[in-house]
Chains A and B, each alone.
Chain A
Amino acid sequence: MMLRHLRNFPVCNSAVQVIPKRFLSISQFFSEKALPPRLKLLDADITTSYLKGTGPGGQKINKTNSAVQLIHKPTGIVVKSQATRSQSQNEKIARQILADKVEQLLKGDESRVALKAERERKKKASRAKKSRRKYRELEKKEVESGEEGGEALRDGGEVRGGQEEKPQKSNQ
């Protein structure tokens, strides 16, 4: 509880206080390289349709369907969005998805979506690796304490071993 409050305290976040009095982990946000800008699609290339079906509309019927469908004419990609109640919002969302899809088709692995997915994959792999290491160490410790923990030397050696692995990770 207290730690959480301290975190919100501005001093803890500032760069001035480097050495914390308690073991607060202040992890540096390592700045990620910015993604390439979103592809701008030409208005003339897009056909917008509001999926309302046939039959009467307007005042006669109060339709809640705000789905928007966009067709990118040069590539033939069709995108539909009905996430929100707002037609204009749905159009914005659909445009983003369409831009991403068209870019993926044009640039392949160099596209925004592919780069994002790659970044996410790396993060996940690193997380998995960390957790594996943690459990491996825990297991080892358990085994050692089971073997009547007299061998303090070996135990220390193990811990050092764990520390040596860290620089390897940061090189990644």
Chain B
Amino acid sequence: MPRIPTRLILQAYKHDTILPLLLRECRTLESAKNEMRWLHEHALRISDSITTKRVPTKALVRCSRALLRTMCMARSRGMPLQYILGDQPFGDLDIKCKRGVLIPRHETETITYHAANLIVHEMANGLFRNDNERTPLRILDLCTGTGCIPLLLHALLAPHIKNLSITGIDISSAAIRLAEENHWRNMHLGLLSERALKEVSFRQGNVLDYARDVSLLTNTLHHMPAGRTSDFEPGCDVIISNPPYISPGDYRSGTTSRSVRMFEPKLALVPSESYSGLMLHVDDVPIEDLFYNHIAAIVAISRARLTVLECGNRLQAMRVVSLYKKVLQGRGEISRVVVDVWSVTGIDTHPCAVLIHLS
């Protein structure tokens, strides 16, 4: 990483004596100033809430200044801004962030919006069953983390679809706890409708186990609330996922930023090399595509009409496209498979979404 020019440090210092601390992570003056503003607002909020009203304003300013300095120090050591502030906006929702759970990214937000638009569009075109009044539209989010995708999907789809059932699955119990906290919190803030209480749920489970043993997934899905009848079949209509997709090489080589490596859980970033369970065709699939390979089997079993997968870059997306074509087209019961890539920013090194339509 290039050295920060002295001129830039001086400029930052002139603006605020503790601003140079933020330059280390932000790299540009503009974004450092932005982060400073958000940290400052947060410091004021905290010092306002912890001090009683009798404290003179001068002491309050001093208190918030000391807080701000501590937070800037933490940030300069690489602590993600979202862990310091405690939350991250995701669409119109407010998602709480804690150590040990991956912070929602802007690209995931954009992909979730796109997925919601697609679902509404396909619903109108009759891709899904039409008796939505009785049976819910079932959506499965694999590797849910903070629960941001199921919650935002519910917020976006609830006005259009009468009956929903969205389940988020993650291997980490910390993530499931945080997701449930976010669920409750956003309902409490009025950002989610009352329906979300029944229609969104989170379960702990290992996605890598499901391809081997479908009954595990069925068991997990059986806990799905809303409109359960005895003739429930294992399956879902939409699968969405932002699985770990960084290769072990990229994780070490420096393309993954210091802040991410030091503070965010590796479990959510790199598919584990030491997975003890059965691996599906591991020889011809690179380790970073491990999850896509397993999700392909789940898609084939559940016959989800629409699948949306976030991939790290265009190259990986192209690999995933050919993988899914190979896995799904060999199956007799599926008549038509359409797989395409949707780019978030149009830049090849940025995340893409792979969209799979079955009909």
Q: Which residues of A contact B (CB under 8 A)?
A: 49-50, 52, 54-66, 82, 84-89
On whether the beta carbons of B89 and A89 are closer than 8 Å, the reply is yes
What chain A residues lie within 8 Å of B102 (beta carbons)?
59
Complex CA gap A63/B105 in Å reads 8
Contact A59 B110, beta carbon cutoff 8 Å? no
B residues in contact with A52, CB < 8 Å: 106, 345, 347, 350
In the complex, identify which listed stretch (B80-88, B118-126, B134-142, B216-224) lies at the interface while the others stay far away. B80-88
In the complex, chain A residues whose CB is within 8 Å of the CB of B47: none
Stretch at the interface among B3-11, B30-38, B326-334: B30-38
Instruction: Please state if B257 and A62 are interface contacts (CB–CB under 8 Å).
Output: yes
**13 A-B pairs (CB sep. < 8 Å):** A50-B106, A57-B350, A58-B105, A58-B313, A59-B245, A59-B268, A59-B269, A65-B31, A65-B34, A85-B88, A86-B92, A88-B91, A88-B109
Contacts of B31 in A (CB 8 A): 64-65
- Top 8 A-B residue pairs of the complex, sorted by shortest distance between their CB atoms: A86-B89, A58-B351, A57-B350, A60-B256, A61-B257, A64-B81, A62-B80, A58-B107
Contact A60 B89 (CB under 8 A): no
How many A-B residue contacts, CB cutoff 8 Å? 96
Which secondary structure characterizes the binding site on chain A? loop
Residues from chain A with Cβ under 8 Å of B313 in the complex: 56, 58
B49 to chain A, nearest CB (A): 20
A86 to B250, CA, bound (A): 28
A-side contacts of B35, CB under 8 Å: 64
Instruction: Give chain B residues whose Cβ lies under 8 Å from the Cβ of A64.
Output: 26, 31, 34-35, 81-82
B170 in contact (CB, < 8 A): no
- Which of chain B's residues have a CB closer than 8 A to the CB of A82? 30, 34
In the complex, A88 Cα to B82 Cα: how many Å?
A: 17
Residue of B nearest to A68 (CB): B106
Structural contact, A56 and B106, CB atoms closer than 8 A: no
User: Is there an interface contact between A88 and B245, defined as CB atoms closer than 8 Å?
Assistant: no
Task: Decide if A55 touches B349 in the complex (CB within 8 Å).
Answer: yes
Within 8 A of A (CB), among B233-257: 242, 244-246, 250, 255-257
B260 adjacent to A62 (CB under 8 Å):
yes
Among A50, A55, A62, max chain B CB count under 10 A is at: A62
